[in-house]
Amino acid sequence: MTETRPYLVNGEWRTGEGTLVVKSPYDDSVVAEIGVPTAADVEEATAVAAETFKTSQHLPVHVRSEALDHISKRLAQDIDKNAKLIAAEGGKPLKWATVEATRASSTFRWASEVLRHGTDEAGRLDTEAAFAGRMGISRRFPYGPVLGITPFNFPLNLVAHKVAPSLAVGAPIVVKPASATPIGSLVLAEYFAETDLPKGMFQVLTVNSKVADGMARDARFRKISFTGSADIGWYLKSLDPKKRVTLELGGNAGVIVHKDADLDLAAARVAFGSYYQAGQSCISVQRILVQSEVYEDFAVRLTKQVESLKTGDPMDPTVDVGPVINRGEVDRIAEWVQEAVSQGAEVLVGGKGEGPLYYPTLLSQTRPEMKVRCEEIFGPVATISPYETFEDALDEVNNSKYGLQAGVFTNDINRAFLAHRTLEVGGVIINDVSAFRADQMPYGGSKDSGFGREGLRFAMEEMTEPRIMVLSHVPL
């Protein structure tokens, strides 16, 4: 019999009532059974977060920073163990799960470094005769308790991107992890419990979406940080206009390959960026736009790269592409591909599923109105299309309701700056794919892709507000 894994409320590990069964998306084996919090647990966690905020916002920098450093070091010690948990619960291939486990350690380290560096500002205000003898000191203060809602596809590092900045600014956080992949959040809770921070600063509630909806409506949570689908994200933002909300939502990222690019580099990186997470990433490459003079050549190179990817058991360290999160998603992806084919699309490689797997698929002869191009497929499927001028490609990338990130392969610095100025996205990645992310950089989207920014310094700003103190009649 599998032992029920507990969740964390008010510093106590509890099993609640009933269990949430976490299964491997690859073979349906039971990975863990997680306790389900009671209604009383949810109320207690919320009340404790609100009460803890009264003191946590005043914690010295060194106390918060030392705790963040401890969690970072523990993550670094347990990379192999945590990578296996990520691969088991979410189906992410072990090689990429190891990357995620490593990045989570960096995320906490960056939060500590930003915190120690500080953001306070001082400035003279005696710029006008009427303001003589005045000086301003501006500091940032946290809004209040944070509700963090996280997705299945990065069960450790995307939780870290909500927990680390919250702890850094002194704001208690309650995390509602994805039901399919809750273990990563519990691992972080174990490391947190080893620190000297108040026990109410980080709690994990493995509840369902209905319960989370009630938590999002609770006025005691002054801030929501959500990563997930656009429909749910914008719904959460509509609940309370006074509540601060950061949304990291979906995308159907475009990548431009111009004729002056290194085509071998571009083919290798596009193959990675389209399929490394079975396409289950909001910045996964979905639309590949290639300058017409090199289109046929590049399509051949990319097809070879895609054919070389190994699909299968995520626990196999040589596997590049693992399973889709569940069989229903396999069926949906297959339906979208078949619909595109019935409308004239051509399958260059892939185009089929088997059990929990959908094989890396590359489609040509698609049109902008097809679902595989205009919607977020969130699976291992990409489309490839030619364009004539660079400006045409920029227009096509912008021809989307999404705007998270885009990649541009070119060796012309002027084109790089033109892309940066023109593309309606949160990030433009030059000579790499949209799927690139460094954990310290500002990360987020425009249009339907989100609201606000993550990335440690930027997430900390999203969780705080500036407050100025004016010193009057001082000898400047």
Cα separation, 340 vs 85, in Å, equals 36
Please state whether 13 falls in left (phi above 0), alpha (psi between -120 and 50) or beta. Answer: beta
- Assign 3-class secondary structure to the chain: CCCEECEEECCEEECECCEEEEECCCCCCEEEEEEECCHHHHHHHHHHHHHHHHHHCCCCHHHHHHHHHHHHHHHHHCHHHHHHHHHHHHCCCHHHHHHHHHHHHHHHHHHHHHHHHCCCEEEECCCCHHHCCCEEEEEEEECCCEEEECCCCCCCHHHHHHHHHHHHHCCCEEEECCCCCCHHHHHHHHHHHCCCCCHHHEEECCCCHHHHHHHHHCCCCCEEEEECCHHHHHHHHHHCCCCEEEEECCCCEEEEECCCCCHHHHHHHHHHHHHCCCCCCCCCEEEEEEEHHHHHHHHHHHHHHHHCCCECCCCCCCCCECCCCCHHHHHHHHHHHHHHHHCCCEEEECCCEECCEECCEEEECCCCCCHHHHCCCCCCEEEEEEECCHHHHHHHHHCCCEECEEEEECCCHHHHHHHHHHCCCCEEEECCCCCCCCCCCCECCEECCEECCECHHHHHHHCEEEEEEEECCCCC
Decide: residue 230, CB within 10 A, 0-12 exposed, 13-18 middle, 19+ buried: buried
Give CA–CA dist 250/185, Å, rounded.
22
Cα gap 56→198, rounded to integer Å: 7
Catalytically annotated residue among 44, 89, 100, 248: 248
Count the neighbouring beta carbons within 10 Å of the beta carbon of residue 99.
Answer: 17
**Active-site residue identified among 282, 329, 376, 461:** 282
Asked about 282 being catalytic, the answer comes back as yes
Q: Which residues pair with 217 in a beta bridge?
A: none
Q: Which of 233, 44, 217 has its CA nearest to residue 225? A: 233
Structure-block tokens of residue 320:
């590049």
Q: Which residues are catalytic?
A: 248, 282
